[in-house]
Structure 1
């Protein structure tokens, strides 16, 4: 995903794999989230990593068409990713 976003934004975006503890620390210190919310986000992240989502056709049924692939979406929505982000704390 970082590679795809780098291409669309024409800027280097690097994925850095950090531990749950580092993620929690970043959320509480740099993002200034309350500890309860940071714990919840870390738990959701761990759940997303450890529990595979079932393959379904739900999106197709809701949209009444096949979903776009990510690269197509990013190209169509390129303008949304080329503005200055509001989450500037990640760049500190």
Structure 2
């Protein structure tokens, strides 16, 4: 699998901006930094969905995303069950 130019630029831009965003977060609070990370993650997900070929690498990425969602859902449910027990 070859990474598309758009994905590479997204990752590279994000990496290069992290240090400045971290310094800004120390002044402005974590919300700015976390908003930036959230936006860049959404951009990566959109680019991956629209530019990657639907081969094993893409399916592996989708599987990983699904496993992560299941893990977070189970943690949320366990925290709610633990509160009422």
Calculate the TM-score normalised by the size of structure 2. Answer: 0.29
For normalisation by structure 1, the TM-score amounts to 0.28
